[in-house]
């Protein structure tokens, strides 16, 4: 079981210590919290991927920088806590590779080089070994897969395995069966949101089957129930041996798409507040008592009155059994549709046979969801003694429960001191970007939605504009979503109404260049193209506009102003909500 993330950990890097390390412990530290086995990251491509853009290691030809963004840091922190964690990379956007087309397969060799360089850079600059690589998130796969395999091998990366195609079971399964060369280079068939089911033709490929993106559900107890159900039933119904949760941690502004759809919540670096949500402890029921390389036993299935059970072994005598009774009402995922089913009170009897019949004792861990007064999260119960029982035991099962029974004695419900209380984003906020050697390329709390904004030292300016934040893209990347036509980065509180925004700005492009500041932005992420708000623009052709939307269709006022490129200006925008109808002035 593993998490993935696409611009969803943006705020995590800005947390002060010790809170940042505590969050990372709950995610990655073995036998502490979620104890995640695998981390899947986005290969930044300068384009919008759901909740923001992540910078590419190549903004343009011959540009290589393996310190942009925060994914390198996150992988390093995961490896510090669990040296055995498996790392996966997957591209969504491909930067400049389209040569004018929104298509990464114009030059297959160049695209393969772009991806392989990221893998090589991970090792050279961060000592990170990437174990699996994907093709193109939820898009076409083309013959590029074969070219990628050849280039991986030519660079000594035979150990890096390929997952295809991070979309549906088809057409990749049929393609693998019909093309022997493709069959040889695909190691894992990964599907998104399979609803615990696969298709027969995918099984016929005899490849590993993964739910390579799943969950994406509010991290309430219902979300935890969804997670507990699919962790078991993805294997029972679909023979999927890995289930990937999108996303790792809700560390992005909550008003962006899929707010709080991570395993835990950490969206307030300014206060240090975070919440260890129930999906963390549901994860622990599986991850703390299994490891990659363990085997599912054939004796898995559904319980008579609803729910399911799986059993896994390391082949060395250890056994872990996970039982869930998640009700339909309290385990519905955001997608796909879940047909109705019933769960009711039952007694379930299990019998250990063969080499497991001699197990004298099983540790018991328990979770109860849905009912606040009965709620328990990852609680260790008394051990189950099996001496003189013939390996037989019976569980009294109610709705919305999760049991783990295991020979392993290493389980632990880790905890850190309570974090600070939640606080709103500061009403007064200022940043002069005066950082000589920034650890991250992005300024704290800014979340890029189209384009890439990076720290930039203006060495030709001896004055107050030596340190700046600069939008660095000069061409539209291959986009995965409907990126805006105008670059934008957001910061602050979605609920602010009356405000004053002031910023020194510099237009680099003659004639057609421009810049804006804005407030009361109502949406972002994959919806950024249709964002509404109050936008104050100036252009290098000597004009200005105030619009009600990012696209510029709603114009409040416009005119001429003495503005030109290559000069610094101070823009000020005051927004006040007045009157009974909340009219914006």
Using CA atoms, how far residue 495 sits from 134, 420, 499, 525, in Å, is 38, 22, 11, 17
Say how far apart CA 65 and CA 512 lie, in whole Å: 29
Both tokens of 159, joined, read 């150990």
Catalytic residue among 76, 109, 138, 304: 138
DSSP code at position 357: G
Say how far apart CA 204 and CA 481 lie, in whole Å: 33
Say how far apart CA 134 and CA 89 lie, in whole Å: 6
Catalytic residue among 54, 71, 213, 277: 213
- State residue 495 phi and psi, 5-degree precision: -90, -5
**Tally of CB atoms within 10 A around 514:** 18
Using CA atoms, how far residue 230 sits from 225, 236, 283, in Å, is 9, 9, 11
Complete DSSP assignment for 410-437: -------PPPPPP-PPPSS-------SS
272 three-state secondary structure: coil
77 is an active site residue: no
110 three-state secondary structure: helix
Closest C-alpha among 546, 540, 541 to residue 558? 546
Burial group, residue 572, by CB count within 10 angstroms (0-12, 13-18, 19+): exposed
Angle at 414 between CA 408 and CA 419, to 5 degrees: 165
277 is an active site residue: no
Q: Is the peptide bond before 239 cis (omega within 30 degrees of 0)?
A: no
Q: Which residues are catalytic?
A: 138, 213
């Amino acid at each position: 079981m593993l998490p993935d993330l696409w611009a969803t950990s943006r705020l995590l890097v800005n947390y002060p210590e010790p809170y940042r390390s505590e969050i990372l412990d709950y995610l990655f530290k073995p036998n502490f919290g979620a104890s995640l086995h695998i981390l899947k990251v986005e290969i930044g491509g300068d384009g919008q991927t759901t909740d923001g853009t992540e910078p590419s290691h190549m903004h343009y030809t011959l540009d290589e920088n393996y310190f942009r963004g925060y994914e390198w840091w996150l992988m390093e922190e995961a490896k510090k806590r669990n040296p055995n964690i498996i790392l996966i990379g997957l591209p969504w956007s491909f930067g400049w590779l389209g040569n004018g087309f929104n298509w990464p397969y114009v030059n297959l060799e160049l695209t393969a080089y772009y991806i392989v360089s990221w893998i090589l850079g991970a090792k050279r600059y961060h000592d990170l070994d990437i174990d699996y690589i994907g093709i193109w998130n939820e898009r076409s796969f083309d013959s590029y897969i074969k070219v990628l395999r050849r280039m991986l091998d030519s660079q000594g990366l035979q150990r890096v395995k390929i997952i295809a195609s991070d979309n549906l079971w088809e057409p990749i399964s049929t393609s693998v069966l019909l093309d022997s060369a493709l069959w040889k280079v695909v190691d894992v068939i990964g599907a998104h949101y399979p609803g615990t089911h696969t298709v027969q033709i995918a099984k016929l490929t005899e490849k590993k089957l993964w739910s390579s993106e799943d969950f994406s559900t509010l991290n309430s107890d219902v979300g935890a129930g969804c997670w507990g159900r699919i962790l078991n039933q993805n294997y029972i119904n679909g023979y999927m041996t890995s289930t990937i949760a999108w996303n790792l941690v809700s560390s992005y502004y909550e008003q962006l798409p899929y707010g709080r759809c991570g395993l835990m919540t950490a969206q307030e670096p300014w206060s240090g507040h975070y919440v260890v949500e129930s999906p963390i402890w549901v994860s622990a029921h599986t991850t703390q008592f299994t490891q990659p390389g363990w085997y599912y036993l054939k004796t898995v299935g559904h319980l008579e009155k609803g729910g399911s059970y799986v059993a896994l072994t390391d082949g060395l005598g250890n056994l872990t059994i996970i039982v869930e009774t998640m009700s339909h009402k309290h385990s519905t995922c955001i997608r796909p549709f879940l047909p109705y089913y019933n769960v009711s009170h039952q007694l379930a009897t299990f019998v250990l046979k063969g080499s497991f019949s001699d197990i004298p004792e099983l540790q018991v861990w328990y979770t109860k969801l849905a009912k606040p007064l009965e709620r328990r999260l990852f609680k260790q119960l008394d051990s189950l003694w099996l001496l003189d029982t013939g390996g037989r035991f019976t569980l009294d099962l109610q709705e919305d429960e999760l049991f783990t029974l295991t020979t392993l004695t290493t389980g632990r419900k880790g905890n850190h001191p309570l974090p600070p209380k939640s606080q709103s984003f500061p009403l007064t906020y200022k940043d002069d970007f005066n950082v000589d050697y920034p650890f991250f390329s992005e300024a704290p709390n800014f979340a890029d939605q189209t384009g890439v904004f990076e720290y930039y030292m203006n060495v030709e300016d001896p004055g107050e504009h030596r340190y700046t934040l600069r939008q660095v893209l000069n061409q539209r990347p291959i986009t995965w979503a409907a990126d805006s036509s105008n670059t934008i980065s957001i910061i602050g509180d979605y609920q602010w109404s009356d405000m004053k925004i002031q910023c020194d700005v510099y237009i680099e492009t003659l004639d057609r260049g421009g810049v804006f500041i804005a407030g009361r932005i109502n949406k972002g992420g994959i919806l950024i193209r249709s964002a509404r708000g109050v936008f104050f623009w100036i252009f290098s052709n000597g004009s200005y506009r105030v619009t009600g939307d990012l696209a510029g269709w709603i114009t409040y006022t416009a005119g001429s102003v003495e503005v030109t490129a290559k000069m610094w200006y101070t823009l000020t925008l005051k927004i006040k909500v007045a009157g009974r109808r909340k009219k914006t002035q």
